[in-house]
Amino acid sequence: MKDKKVLVVGGGGRCHAIVDALSRSPQVAKIWCAPGNAGIGLQAENVPLKDTDVPGLLAFAQREGIDLTVVGPEAALAVGIVDAFRAAGLRIFGHTQAATRIESSKEFAKQLMEQYGIPTAAYRSFDDFQEALDYVNARPFPAVLKYDGLAAGKGVVIAAGPEEAEAALRSMLLDEAFGKGRVVVEDFLTGPEFSFMAFVDGERVYPMPLAQDHKRAFDGDKGPNTGGMGAYTGLPFITDEDREFALHSILEAAAKAMCAEGCPLSGVLYGGLMKTPAGIKVIEFNARFGDPETEVVLPLLESDIYEIFEAVACGRPAAQPVWRDAVSLGVVLASKGYPGSYPKGAEIRGVDQVDAKVYHMGTRCEGDRLLTNGGRVMMVVAEGKDVRDAQRKVYAELGKISCDALFYRRDIAHVALDGRLLDGKALSATIKEELRERVGKLEIKYGRKPSLAVIIVGNNPASQVYVRNKVKTAIYVGMNSRLITMAEDASEESLLQMIDTLNRDPEVDGILVQLPLPKQICEERVIDAIAKEKDVDGFHVLNVGDLWLGRPCSVPCTPKGILRLIDESGLDLSGKVAVVVGRSNIVGKPVAKLLLDRHATVIIAHSRTKDLKSITLQADVLVVAVGRENIVTGDMVKPGAVVIDVGMNRNAEGKLCGDVDFVAARQRASWITPVPGGVGPMTIAMLMENTVECFLARVGQ
Ligand code: AMP
Ligand code: GLY
């Protein structure tokens, strides 16, 4: 029977989505929303009461004979609206004040997770400034500092170094910027973040589809943090096993833990989760629907939301909700200037033409004109068969809205559509671990360790960094390593003599001369002076020759590492077009040869090749080794290509960058290497591997 009266507490886009879902219920006759907004007013009756005005809301609910009240914002929960309604015998969906601590107190949440084994970043909490500072300074940076309480999303500081940490602790603990409170200091985690929400009633958990928010204001996740600029469902980076783990070991575990603590949940539990290299961990819990996740999740609900809300409010079991098997994506329109200051009152046209859901966040009506009235103004949400489909629909509909005072991100869901990272840092770490084990066994078997001699001539600062890294890594994998330093003005003869000594030294397996060399020394002569079987770089003319003839040899480290990275993508090179931009003897040419060996069709070009774009656009695999920033732009990448960026340049801001416009290329590539962290670490790992191989050849294996 369509006879239920519902009061929704709150007013933003999230509440508009709740009201919209309730309006689809076959049981709901009338909806009120306090305070609501202009858009909500089209589907419900707005009530001019603040969301934290508990006595006012209670009186209203009693007067109107409301059957069920649904609470949106955390502020109302934290002041105890649920406790007050229940005490008055009214039915309400939302957590008690005690249960809301899972969001309102970071320390409570961290203690709960620690006690019940729910995975999260290691932490400690403090109320003393000096103790907090000492702890932070004794730990690696960046450090994460969280004010313990509701701070409207502004209570988290990621401090890159000691000065930032001190300033943040000073403001939180000494100046009491958010009031008197404690600070939680936790380890910095990395990985993609996502939101997992569920309706929870005691130990009963009814999960919703996963969603991802976009917190930064501008494209490419740049600019200041905001309340959320868009969201989507259908996250490609979360596997079914990930979801199962998060459901059982995080959401259900938290629900059980709260029961055990005597403050059972009875509303929405929001897990702000991160997929870290060490598994899925909790960044934060919220005690309410997420915003803007709710706006994309609830439209997919096929079940009657009133039924779920009422069951949870009454503490009786409900059927698992049914969700449409589609992807939902929403883009927020915000006032120019947001999250800083912005003007209000600009007219928005065309909203009535939009063939998608429009949830209002900050709007008001003046006659029949719709005006901006907040930072985030509205959100346009559409469904599709996949992320790309939903994205295309939303952006097409957004084109119908006109208002000069608004802006929006054009890349919502880019994480889902971007190429995946070929993470050379992670892969090289695995290879180094394997080598370390292998080297340990070799030492036992042969009574000595593989050993690498590294020669550096002069004091080129970049070369100094490289050689130190190589020596450090050799020691890390358990090899002997020797660093030989010669003066800037050393003669070619003295260098050749040194090489000769090392060639004859039975204890040395690998010799490497760091390039470039000072002008007075001929590089080619020096490289060819290294005994072929100790040439771990693979630059010796005889090694190069053997490589082209397909005979056993030291394969140059960078090309070898590049092939390993391509293999990581899972691409079968046979019959594919590979384009190598750059034709140096140590990268471009050997890479081409290795690709030919895998039966690819190889095209070598260089930076001045005419109409380079028409060539790179054919590439299933594109290897760029030129050494010039942005020589390959996004439009030069064939959609779905594997892109390997060998470049190492310093841009105008002094930051390391590759030869490829990473952000633009990633939107078309299926896989791409970052710079730094792609090819660079692989080169060093391959150097270690080559040293072990030279050792094995020399001990007669
Ligand atoms: P919170 O208010 O707890 O959601 O934190 C705000 C944002 O800070 C999160 O969405 C994360 O992007 C970031 N953050 C919080 N804690 C960590 C952490 N331990 N490691 C890395 N990033 C974090
Ligand atoms: N979307 C983040 C939140 O609702 O807290």
Half-sphere exposure of 468 (CA within 13 A, CB side): 7
**How high is the pLDDT of residue 257?**
98
Residue 26, token pair as written in the block: 């076959």
Closest ligand to C-alpha of residue 213 is 2
Query: Is CATH 3.40.720.10 correct for 556-682?
Result: no
Residue 150 has pLDDT above 80, yes or no: no
CA atoms of 477 and 431, how far apart (whole Å): 10
Residue 491 has pLDDT above 90, yes or no: yes
Q: Which of 11, 387, 418, 420 is nearest to 211 (CA)?
A: 387
Nearest CA owner, ligand 2 atom 3: 290
CA-based torsion, 68, 265, 206, 288: positive or negative: positive
Distance 194 CA to ligand 1 centre (A): 11
Question: What is the DSSP track for 504-553?
Answer: H-TT--EEEEPSSPPTTS-HHHHHHHS-GGGBTT--SHHHHHHHHHT-S-
User: What torsion, rounded to 10 degrees, do the Cα atoms 107, 112, 113, 118 define?
Assistant: -160
Identity of the amino acid at 498: M
CA atoms of 83 and 199, how far apart (whole Å): 18
Ligand 2: residue of 232, 286, 332, 376 to mutate (most ligand atoms within 8 A of CB) is: 286
**How high is the pLDDT of residue 179?**
75
Per-residue confidence band for 701, with pLDDT thresholds at 50, 70 and 90:
low
Looking at the structure, give the CATH architecture of the domain made up of residues 427-552+686-699.
3-Layer(aba) Sandwich (3.40)
Q: Which atom, in ligand 2's list, is nearest to the CA of 231?
A: 1
**Fold designation for 4-93:** Rossmann fold (3.40.50)
Q: How much is the average pLDDT of 104-131?
A: 94
Nearest CA owner, ligand 2 atom 5: 290
The residue with greater pLDDT, 1 or 143, is: 143
Residue 258, token pair as written in the block: 């709260």
Per-residue confidence band for 639, with pLDDT thresholds at 50, 70 and 90:
confident
Taking only the tens place, the pLDDT of each residue in 179-237 is 778 899 999 998 899 999 999 999 999 999 999 999 999 988 999 999 999 999 999 88
Q: Ligand 2: which residues within 6 Å by Cβ?
A: 213, 228, 286, 290-291, 293
Check: CB of residue 390 under 8 Å from CB of residue 383: yes
Nearest CA owner, ligand 1 atom 3: 284
For residue 80, give the DSSP letter.
T
Check: CB of residue 673 under 8 Å from CB of residue 422: yes
CA atoms of 412 and 410, how far apart (whole Å): 6
Cβ count near 437 (within 10 Å) = 12
Closest ligand to C-alpha of residue 272 is 1
Check: CB of residue 271 under 8 Å from CB of residue 237: no
To the nearest whole number, what is the mean pLDDT of the chain? 95
Distance 144 CA to ligand 1 centre (A): 7
Residue 330, token pair as written in the block: 């929403």
Distance 156 CA to ligand 1 centre (A): 7
Residue 563, token pair as written in the block: 């092939």
Q: Which atom, in ligand 2's list, is nearest to the CA of 292?
A: 1
CA atoms of 101 and 254, how far apart (whole Å): 12
Ligand 2: residue of 15, 18, 195, 196 to mutate (most ligand atoms within 8 A of CB) is: 195
Distance 9 CA to ligand 1 centre (A): 27
Per-residue confidence band for 654, with pLDDT thresholds at 50, 70 and 90:
confident
Residue 258 has pLDDT above 80, yes or no: yes
Taking only the tens place, the pLDDT of each residue in 363-408 is 999 999 999 999 999 999 999 999 989 999 999 999 999 999 999 9
SS3 for 444?
Answer: helix
Residue 193 beta carbon below 6 angstroms from any ligand 1 atom: yes
Distance 122 CA to ligand 1 centre (A): 13
Residue 447, token pair as written in the block: 């009574």
Helix (H) / strand (E) element for 99: namely helix 97-104
Check: CB of residue 296 under 8 Å from CB of residue 232: yes
Q: Which atom, in ligand 1's list, is nearest to the CA of 284?
A: 3
Residue 144 beta carbon below 6 angstroms from any ligand 1 atom: yes
Identity of the amino acid at 245: F
Ligand 1: residue of 284, 288, 291, 415 to mutate (most ligand atoms within 8 A of CB) is: 284
Which residues, 6+ apart, have CB-to-CB distance to 507 below 8 Å?
Answer: 448, 451, 480
Q: Which atom, in ligand 2's list, is nearest to the CA of 284?
A: 5
Residue 43 has pLDDT above 70, yes or no: yes
Q: How much is the average pLDDT of 60-74?
A: 97
Q: Which atom, in ligand 2's list, is nearest to the CA of 291?
A: 4
CA atoms of 40 and 19, how far apart (whole Å): 7
**How high is the pLDDT of residue 148?**
82
Taking only the tens place, the pLDDT of each residue in 273-329 is 999 988 999 999 999 999 999 999 999 999 999 999 999 999 999 999 999 999 999
The domain locations on the chain are: 4-93, 427-552+686-699, 556-682
Cβ count near 431 (within 10 Å) = 21
Taking only the tens place, the pLDDT of each residue in 334-349 is 999 999 999 999 999 9
Half-sphere exposure of 640 (CA within 13 A, CB side): 6
Strand partners, 451: 480
Residue 74 beta carbon below 6 angstroms from any ligand 1 atom: no
CA atoms of 539 and 142, how far apart (whole Å): 40
CA-based torsion, 431, 432, 438, 442: positive or negative: positive
**How high is the pLDDT of residue 416?**
85
Residue 154 has pLDDT above 70, yes or no: no
Distance 266 CA to ligand 1 centre (A): 25
Distance 543 CA to ligand 2 centre (A): 57
Residue 151 has pLDDT above 60, yes or no: no
